[in-house]
Structure 1
Amino acid sequence: MLNLQSTSVKAVEFLNTSNINADGISSPFEKLSKLSDLKLDGQRNHGLVLIPRNFFKGLHSLKSLYLTNNNIAFLAPEAFDDLINLKFLTLDNCCVGVAQLQPGVFKNLRNVTKLIVENMGIQNFSKVVFGNLTKLRILQLNRNVMQSISVDVLESLPQLQYLDIRSVPLSCTCKNSLLQNYTVNNRKVQVIYLYTMSCQENKTRKFHNFNTNVCYIDLGVYLFFSTAAVLFLFTVSPLLYVKLYWKIKYSCYVFCSWFSDHWTRLREKEEKCKYDAFISYNFSDEQWVMNQLLPNLEGNGSSLKLCLHHRDFELGRNIVDNIVTAVYSSRKTICVVSKNFLRSEWCSLEIQLASYRLFDEHRDVLLLVFLEPIAERQLSPYHRMRKVMLKKTYLQWPGSNCINPSQAQELFWNQLRRAIRAGSRQETEQNDTDKDLALASKETGNYEKLIR
């Protein structure tokens, strides 16, 4: 066996060996100072697995290095530092999976003119790896796994004339738009088999002519108008909110409702409403609803029919759809207002839907029943506005501290029943209108005296 450490081999210029041991401590070629051509292809038995930092130490005269068909799992970033005169390097078919070449691994190979790194599993083509190859003329990158190649790296290779990127899964997206332009229009660099290269996403499309128009849109113009629009909205929105909030809110609802087939069908069936009133209440007030409101409005042979959450909502249906159907399937919506009611988001939605219907149909379909005294400051602007608008259909439940609770409550139920029936073409005849209004006015006066 040849002893590469012997001083007698200093004059060797060409070496082709198949059984090199890389122990990572010393270089087996340290005495071969005049070696110019070294072939280490397909090392037995499993190939050259690792190349440590001192492996090529002393090979200052080396011109060509062959490392094909090895299973290189580790390539030290200083492995080629002593090969300052190297002109040819091949690492063809040294793939053991996806490879990440260490930054600076080729930093001293400034004289290399041909580099073959085919089928190495290279995933990133970066300047920190390939950027120092200033005299490189031929670069063969085919059968690697890069999906994009940076044009900046290619332009950092001023002597490049020949580029092989066959069988590289390049994506036909904007990140490769500059590469497409470089490969098609750069007359200095020949990209072999360019017009047969396919897109990774669609093999029927060709890389050299995929559409890149969308990639060159001037983003500055879009950013300017987008920023201007946002600033305008932030400036104008507070003013509109203060001045036109309710008008805009209800106008939007009316506009949208015209285009809603679901709600339109419900409005068309209003004259055939399934319920006389939909009861909107918070679960904390359910005892009052079940013990007071339900017996007095539906009991004692009354013809009124109420819609209640737990009893009449369709099981398995979206809660919002159930609420919308209940509001539009009832001639009136009665809101049982308490402090708990005001804190409930679902109750807020129900009262707003009833108000939308009021503005859309120009008919008063909303009745407010206050279970307890609530100060004006505790009401939101929305509820204060509704309280002012609905003076005729705003009722206060008489508590036990009034002068005559039983009589006051009887008047309360008469008023509520009359308000539910008001406006119904099925139950109110035109010739009874004056008599009903007179009686309502009289009862209202008595009721207000009783609850004071």
Structure 2
Amino acid sequence: ILQLASLDVSGLHTSLENMEALLKTVNSSLRSLTLNHIKRSRTQLINLSCSIPTVSKLQFRSNDLRTISLYFFKPCVNVVELDLSENHIKSIDENAFTSMRNLTILRLSKNKLSSVPNGEFEGLKSLWNLSLHQNQINILDTETPFSDLHQLEELSLHGQHHRGKSSLPSNFLQGLYRLLSFNVRNSQLINLDKDTFVNTPNLERLDLSSNDLEILTPELFAPIRNLKSLYISRIAVHSLDFLAGANLTRLEFLQGRHNQYSVVTKDIIESLPSLWYLDFKYNSFYCDCSNAWFVNWTIFSKQTQVNDAYNFSCNYPDDFKGKRLLDFDLKSCSQDINLIYFASTTSMILFVMAGSFIYHFMRWQLYYAYYLFLGWLFDSKYKNKQAPHQYDAFISYNHHDEPWVIGELLPKLEGEQGWKLCLHHRDFEPGKPITENITDAIYGSRKTICVISRRYLESEWCSREVQTASFRLFDEQKDVLILVFLEDIPTYLLSPFQRMRKLLKKQTYLSWPRAAGHPEVFWENLRKALKTGNDPNEENFLSLTQE
């Protein structure tokens, strides 16, 4: 047996001398030693076992070990894996494992530990697996017992048999940056702080099952976006909506048996794009259209296996109680959706048709109503703001027509007839926005003379000027607009503003081309138009018009 690598002497009742003689025969090859159920000479057995330099795995279970003293494992510097489960350990001295710097796995499950104070695991710089399940640990203390275990990857705390409920402090996992697996199943937890997992960003497996955690929030899972496996069975949650906002895009495995949620929505499933295994056994589902998408997805999903989905049962409505969820007929839901689509599409088509009909047959009335409303808005802003009229007329023209305005219009109206006119280049206030200058000029003049040419109709600013004058006309019902045509322009080329003006008062369009034979009549009619009152219904005397 000189090359023996593993030795189990559990339950062997022999003298310490015989045990020492036995171990000496395998002193150079032994790797694993099991000393369970011996219950005597514990300190000597540990010293004897750890004196073998090749032993890296030591199992010391069910030996009625009540406490771990400071120097109990001092000789065990080469031990890598230590199992102390099923003893009656109630306390561990501070720095009890300091000498075991090579220890990577420590099992302390099924003992009687009631707390995990600071210092118990100090010195275990290489430890990556720690099992403390099935003790009596009440996790209420705000200390940080694992802050020195920077290499720890697996931590098991499930099955704590203490009295009363407990909460997990937000700093309980402090220092466990490399933690991959955390198990607190059946630990009588009633609350998890939203910052519980702030210190464990690399966590991949989390088991919260069999605790009274009725409410889970997306914020709880925000720090652990690498999570791949989540166990939430028997936690009494009423809804899975928290998953929709938890951003668990890497979650592959989800188990949620024996809970109280009844509806699984599309948003929940689509928030888990990597999911390949789902276990929702022993939940009672609503067999109505709220679960229609989930039923359809369960049947046809090629990525995710839904465990035992055929036995999912119905809880509502009463007619479906006890029946299978997958037997629910989805046709009724499709009919409802089709009816909604039909109604909405029909309504939209009718709306478009009605709008097209109204525009085609009533567009001029709509234009009039629209500009009447805008006129009221503009006039309500300016009619009480202006002082008495500063000018007799504002001249609206395109700069290409400026030679006619300066050479013909200005000498006649200002030079001979004595009217006070407002022109862009001469009377607009420098530095003021152009739109304000236009509005102030129109509302500060008794009349507005629009000198219309083809260039004028193409100008955006000229269009704004005639719009503003039209607003004033519509709202005040005053004949403030005089149109002078420098060219013969077909009616179809006129914008809606000039067309509406023609509908309101067809005799107010003076034509310069038609006055070629008698210009004195043109100027006299323009003088009379400037002199007349503002009543748009008074008899008009202009004889030269553009029809």
Deviations 1:347-373 (A, max 9, x none): 323223323443445443222223445
Deviations 1:168-216 (A, max 9, x none): xxxxxxxxxxxxxxxxxxxxxxxxxxxxxxxxxxxxxxxxxxxxxxxxx
Structure 2 SS opposite 1:336? strand
Question: Relative to 1, partners in 2 of residues 1:322 and 1:84: Cα closer, same or farther, differing over 3 Å?
Answer: same
| Contact persistence 1:69–1:93 (CA under 8 A) | no
| Contact persistence 1:86–1:112 (CA under 8 A) | yes
Tell me the equivalent position of 2:171.
Answer: 94
| Contact persistence 2:482–2:508 (CA under 8 A) | yes
| Contact persistence 2:184–2:208 (CA under 8 A) | yes
- The worse-fitting range, judged by mean Cα deviation, of 321-330 and 114-123 is 114-123
Residue number among 517, 531, 538 corresponding to 1:421 in the alignment: 531
Matched, 1:297 2:297: no
Deviations 1:270-316 (A, max 9, x none): xx53322112233454454344433332234x321112334444566
Matched, 1:135 2:254: no
Tell which structure's C-alpha radius of gyration is larger.
Answer: 2
Structure 2 SS opposite 1:294? helix
Matched, 1:113 2:188: yes
Matched, 1:243 2:361: yes
Mapped partners of 2:510, 2:116: distance in 1: 99
Task: Report the identity percentage.
Answer: 33
Structure 2 SS opposite 1:238? helix
State TM-score, norm by structure 2: 0.46
Tell me the equivalent position of 1:175.
Answer: none
Structure 1 SS opposite 2:208? coil
Question: Relative to 1, partners in 2 of residues 1:35 and 1:28: Cα closer, same or farther, differing over 3 Å?
Answer: farther
Matched, 1:37 2:37: no
| Residue identity opposite 1:246 in structure 2 | W
| Residue identity opposite 2:143 in structure 1 | N
| Contact persistence 1:91–1:116 (CA under 8 A) | yes
Question: Relative to 1, partners in 2 of residues 1:319 and 1:226: Cα closer, same or farther, differing over 3 Å?
Answer: farther
Question: CA offset at residue 130 of structure 1?
Answer: 12
Which structure has more relative contact order (CA 8 Å, sep 6+)? It is: 1
The 5-angstrom pairing of residues 5-16 of structure 1 reads: 5=80, 13-14=89-90, 16=92
| Contact persistence 1:56–1:79 (CA under 8 A) | yes
The 5-angstrom pairing of residues 75-224 of structure 1 reads: 79-80=154-155, 82-83=156-157, 85-86=159-160, 91-94=168-171, 108-114=183-189, 117-118=192-193, 120=195, 133-137=208-212, 152=239
| Residue identity opposite 2:494 in structure 1 | L
| Contact persistence 2:214–2:238 (CA under 8 A) | no
Matched, 1:265 2:384: yes
Tell me the equivalent position of 1:184.
Answer: none
| Contact persistence 2:193–2:220 (CA under 8 A) | no
The 5-angstrom pairing of residues 303-382 of structure 1 reads: 303-314=418-429, 319-382=434-497
Deviations 1:423-449 (A, max 9, x none): 479xxxx9xx99xx5xx65xx49x99x
RMSD: 6.0
| Residue identity opposite 1:111 in structure 2 | N
Structure 1 SS opposite 2:405? helix
The 5-angstrom pairing of residues 27-66 of structure 1 reads: 28-32=104-108, 37=113, 39-42=115-118, 55-57=128-130, 59=132, 61=134, 64=137
| Residue identity opposite 1:152 in structure 2 | S
Tell me the equivalent position of 2:224.
Answer: none
Question: CA offset at residue 332 of structure 1?
Answer: 1.8
| Contact persistence 1:15–1:35 (CA under 8 A) | no
Tell me the equivalent position of 1:211.
Answer: none
Mapped partners of 1:297, 1:76: distance in 2: 97
Question: Relative to 1, partners in 2 of residues 1:397 and 1:130: Cα closer, same or farther, differing over 3 Å?
Answer: farther
State TM-score, norm by structure 1: 0.53
| Residue identity opposite 1:240 in structure 2 | I
| Residue identity opposite 1:69 in structure 2 | E
Question: CA offset at residue 226 of structure 1?
Answer: 11
Question: CA offset at residue 94 of structure 1?
Answer: 1.0
Tell me the equivalent position of 1:275.
Answer: 391
| Contact persistence 1:115–1:140 (CA under 8 A) | no
Structure 1 SS opposite 2:106? coil
| Contact persistence 1:135–1:157 (CA under 8 A) | no
| Contact persistence 1:113–1:138 (CA under 8 A) | no
Mapped partners of 2:384, 2:355: distance in 1: 34
- The worse-fitting range, judged by mean Cα deviation, of 35-44 and 367-376 is 35-44
Mapped partners of 2:149, 2:435: distance in 1: 62
Q: How many residues align?
A: 348
Question: Relative to 1, partners in 2 of residues 1:243 and 1:154: Cα closer, same or farther, differing over 3 Å?
Answer: closer
Mapped partners of 2:494, 2:470: distance in 1: 16
Deviations 1:384-418 (A, max 9, x none): 443566553323444xxx9x97x666665444334
Question: CA offset at residue 419 of structure 1?
Answer: 2.9
| Contact persistence 2:168–2:196 (CA under 8 A) | no
| Contact persistence 1:77–1:105 (CA under 8 A) | no
Question: Relative to 1, partners in 2 of residues 1:346 and 1:157: Cα closer, same or farther, differing over 3 Å?
Answer: farther
Q: What residue ranges of structure 1 are gaps of 5+ in the alignment?
A: 161-224
